[in-house]
Amino acid sequence: MTTRTADIEKAAAVLRDGGLVALPTETVYGLGADAENPAALARVFQAKGRPPSHPLIVHIAGAERLGDWVREVPATARLLAARFWPGPLTLVLRRGGRVSPAATGGLETVAVRVPDHPVALALLSAFGGGVAAPSANRFGAVSPTTADHVRAELGDAVDFVLDGGPCLVGVESTIVDATGDVPSILRPGGVTREDLEAVLGRSLEVDSTGRTPVPGRHPSHYAPRARVILVEPENVVAEAELAQESGQRVGVLVPSSRAGAPVKAHTVMAVPESPAAYAQGLYGILREFDRRGCDVVVVSLPADEGLGLAIANRLRRAAGPRPSR
Ligand code: TXA
Ligand code: MG
């Protein structure tokens, strides 16, 4: 992967013309459009099959530009931006006049972040404005962590794909609502709750129940085609073999505590060693189960701490509201 200056300039020109650019970030690939261009933003929703009421994240080149996009920058937001940007943290703040209402789903707030990826930062600097970018996947599906994932899923719906190599964090940004006096986590992600709490000197509620201020409910998200079954770690192997015996093609993600035990399943993969490696590999693993034609995926949840919180959140959402054993 080499991203040339010419590619960055071409991508910036596509954005200026109202086109769509897939861009690498440290979390996942985004499907970017000019955050001030309603027609371009409409194309993002169309390409993703996403309801226009579901707001996008505006990506900017640096914390010093935050004031251009929000009405005010409260002290908490200033502190978090100074500490975690560029990085996998998104701040929800009261929106300024510059961002198109088409990007915010008509909300009075806007989500903003500075991604920690040299290609994304080069593009944002060359473009100069804000780039509204959801993850570059079809609505509800697994987020892309390579340029190939984007091409396979969105194809011609994207005008230009910037290849920045595989994403290093692998799960989306942590979203913090910083509009009020008491910040809260709307979505766990690449910046851990513990790190946020250490900087803020207070504990943070996690409001990851999907109670974002958007109309409609979208229960199943981050989901592969295969049905995801969540079980306790000690039951993963038995559950996988049961499903396999019933004639289904079973993918199983074996926790390290069970590594080495033989498993009768169609596709067996080991949970990566560290939480960081697990987060980085998660979406690729879910895609691989689909690629191998699995009907179901049996997996256990990591503990809700550190990056495990984001991983568990994605797996719960992938499993959806179906009863899990
Ligand atoms: O890591 C990421 O955040 C990636 C990369 C591309 O930056 N982007 C991403 O975007 O995950 P998306 O669209 O897949 O998820 C954005 C989330 C949605 O769940 C949306 O509801 C929430 O951000 N969001 C956006 N604006 C919001 C707002 N004003 N208030 C509350 N939630 C908001
Ligand atoms: Mg997404």
CA dihedral in degrees (286, 24, 198, 317; nearest 10)? -30
Instruction: Pick the atom of ligand 1 nearest to 190's CA.
Output: 1
Cα(144)–Cα(291) distance, integer angstroms: 14
Q: Which is it for strands 109-113 and 89-94: parallel, antiparallel or unpaired?
A: antiparallel
What pLDDT was estimated at residue 215?
Answer: 39
Write the CB contacts of 323 (distance below 8 Å, at least 6 apart in sequence). Answer: none
Residue with tokens 């797996």: 315
What pLDDT was estimated at residue 321?
Answer: 79
What pLDDT was estimated at residue 258?
Answer: 81
Cα(219)–Cα(241) distance, integer angstroms: 28
For residue 174, the cross-strand partners are 89
Question: From the CB of residue 5, how many other CB atoms can be counted at a distance below 10 Å?
Answer: 9
Q: Is 47 in the pocket of ligand 1 (CB under 6 A)?
A: no
C-alpha pair distances (Å), 86 with each of 15, 59, 83, 93, 106 = 21, 10, 9, 17, 27
Q: Is 172 in the pocket of ligand 1 (CB under 6 A)?
A: yes
Nearest of 56, 96, 87, 80 to residue 176 by alpha carbon: 80
What pLDDT was estimated at residue 325?
Answer: 46
Do the beta carbons of residue 70 and residue 63 sit within 8 Å? no
Do the beta carbons of residue 92 and residue 183 sit within 8 Å? no
Cα(7)–Cα(25) distance, integer angstroms: 16
Residues in the chain: 325
pTM, rounded to two decimals: 0.95
What pLDDT was estimated at residue 255?
Answer: 87
Alpha carbon 176 to its chain centroid, in Å, reads 14
Q: Report CA(90)–ligand 1 centroid distance (Å).
A: 8
What pLDDT was estimated at residue 262?
Answer: 85
Q: Is 54 in the pocket of ligand 1 (CB under 6 A)?
A: yes
Alpha helices in 19-156 (DSSP H): 38-48, 75-84, 118-127, 147-154
pLDDT tens per residue across span 68-87: 999 999 999 999 999 999 99
Q: What is the DSSP letter of 129?
A: S
Ligand lying nearest the CA atom of residue 283:
2
Cα(70)–Cα(58) distance, integer angstroms: 11
Q: Is 310 in the pocket of ligand 1 (CB under 6 A)?
A: no
Q: Which is it for strands 184-187 and 109-113: parallel, antiparallel or unpaired?
A: unpaired
Token couple for 88: 């996998």
Ligand lying nearest the CA atom of residue 143:
2
Token couple for 159: 């005008």
Nearest of 126, 96, 128 to residue 111 by alpha carbon: 96
For the chain, which ranges sit under pLDDT 50?
213-217, 324-325
Nearest of 10, 183, 39, 172 to residue 102 by alpha carbon: 39
Q: Is 109 in the pocket of ligand 1 (CB under 6 A)?
A: yes
User: Whose Cα sits closest to atom 20 in ligand 1?
Assistant: 55
Bond preceding residue 224 cis, omega within 30 of 0? no
